[in-house]
């Protein structure tokens, strides 16, 4: 695994990312690489747990989660607030039965290893405000700050061999990997790794 570099498609994720430790809801630590080991995995790095933009992102992904799980994809949401915010996040987004694992990285070591943007301009600048307005018109509401407000999110898809299949770094609050693009890549790698189908 290469060090000090951003994830590159077709290669193993950077060492710092694989070794980054995140918190499970019960407060125990787990390495990210242990979460994606042995199975194609989609990691969605969120902003804080109360973020409106992330609420919209999760809302777009949720209808596909069970289907992707049944095809063999593990989905992991990585937040950056305290573990005590995770239960509320699950309840707000009705994720109880969606077969998704939620962890958090208050130290931001995983976010840094992913080379994700950390900037107040990305949270409060014009593009971010436009994203905020779009999310508001889509019916999403801002709760209070539940993590680092300047940290932006991203997406990482790791195939069954532990190589990066997709990487996206959100540029601001309203930016995210297009769901249809992520699912396209996920379906392709699941089919290549999965059973023979019709």
Partner 1 sequence: MEAFIHVANVLYLFSYLVRDILWLRILTVIAASCLIPFFYSRPEPLMAPIYWNLLFTGINLVQIYILLLERKPVQLNEEEQQLYRMVFRALKPREMLKLLKLATWTTETSGQRIIEQDATLNNLMVVYSGNASVQVGEKEVAKLKDGQFMGEMSYLTDSKTNASVVAQTPLRYVSWSKDQLRNFLGRNPDLRATLQMILGVDLVAKVNA
Taking the complex as a whole, the smallest distance from the CB of residue 190 to partner 1 amounts, in Å, to 8
4 forms part of the interface with partner 1 (CB under 8 A): no
Q: Helices 52-70 and 179-193, interaxial angle, to 10°? A: 20
Taking the complex as a whole, the smallest distance from the CB of residue 189 to partner 1 amounts, in Å, to 9
The rounded distance, in Å, linking the Cα atoms of 86 and 131 is: 24
Per-residue mark of binding to partner 1, 25-64 (x: CB under 8 A): --------------------------------------xx
Q: Stretches 43-51, 104-112, 115-123, 183-191: which one binds partner 1 (CB under 8 A)?
A: 183-191
Taking the complex as a whole, the smallest distance from the CB of residue 184 to partner 1 amounts, in Å, to 7
Query: 162 is written with which tokens?
Result: 């532990």
Sheet holding 21-23, edge to edge: 29-31, 21-23, 100-104, 74-79, 41-45, 154-158, 164-169
Annotate 6-56 with DSSP letters as a single string: ---TTSPPPHHHHH-EEE-TTS-EEEHHHHHTTS-EEEEE-S-TT-HHHHH
CB of 27 or CB of 63, closer to partner 1: 63
194 forms part of the interface with partner 1 (CB under 8 A): yes
CB of 137 or CB of 196, closer to partner 1: 196
Would you state the torsion angle of the CA atoms of residues 168, 26, 70, 76, taken in this order, to the nearest 10 degrees? 0
Query: 16 is written with which tokens?
Result: 């710092």
97 forms part of the interface with partner 1 (CB under 8 A): no
Query: 109 is written with which tokens?
Result: 């070591």
179 forms part of the interface with partner 1 (CB under 8 A): yes
138 forms part of the interface with partner 1 (CB under 8 A): no
The rounded distance, in Å, linking the Cα atoms of 128 and 159 is: 31
Q: Stretches 29-37, 67-75, 108-116, 147-155: which one binds partner 1 (CB under 8 A)?
A: 67-75
Rule CB under 8 A: which residues touch partner 1?
A: 63-64, 67-68, 70-72, 179-180, 183-184, 187-188, 191-192, 194-198
């Amino acid at each position: 695994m290469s060090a000090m570099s951003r994830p590159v498609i077709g290669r193993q994720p950077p060492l710092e990312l694989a070794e980054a430790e995140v918190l499970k809801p019960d407060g125990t630590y787990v390495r990210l690489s242990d979460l994606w080991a042995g199975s194609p995995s989609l990691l969605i790095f969120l902003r804080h747990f109360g973020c409106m933009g992330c609420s919209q992102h999760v809302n777009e992904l949720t209808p596909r989660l069970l289907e992707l799980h049944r095809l063999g994809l593990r989905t992991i949401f990585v937040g950056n607030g305290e573990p005590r915010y995770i239960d509320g996040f699950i309840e707000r987004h009705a994720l109880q039965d969606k077969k998704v694992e939620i962890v958090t990285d208050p130290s931001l070591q995983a976010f840094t290893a992913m080379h994700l943007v950390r900037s107040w301009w990305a949270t409060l600048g014009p593009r971010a405000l436009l994203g905020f307005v779009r999310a508001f018109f889509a019916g999403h509401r801002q709760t209070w700050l539940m993590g680092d407000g300047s940290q932006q999110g991203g997406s990482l898809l790791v195939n069954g061999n532990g190589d990066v299949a997709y990487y996206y770094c959100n540029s601001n609050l309203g930016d995210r990997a297009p769901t249809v693009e992520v699912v396209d890549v996920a379906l392709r790698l699941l089919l290549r790794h999965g059973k023979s189908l019709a």
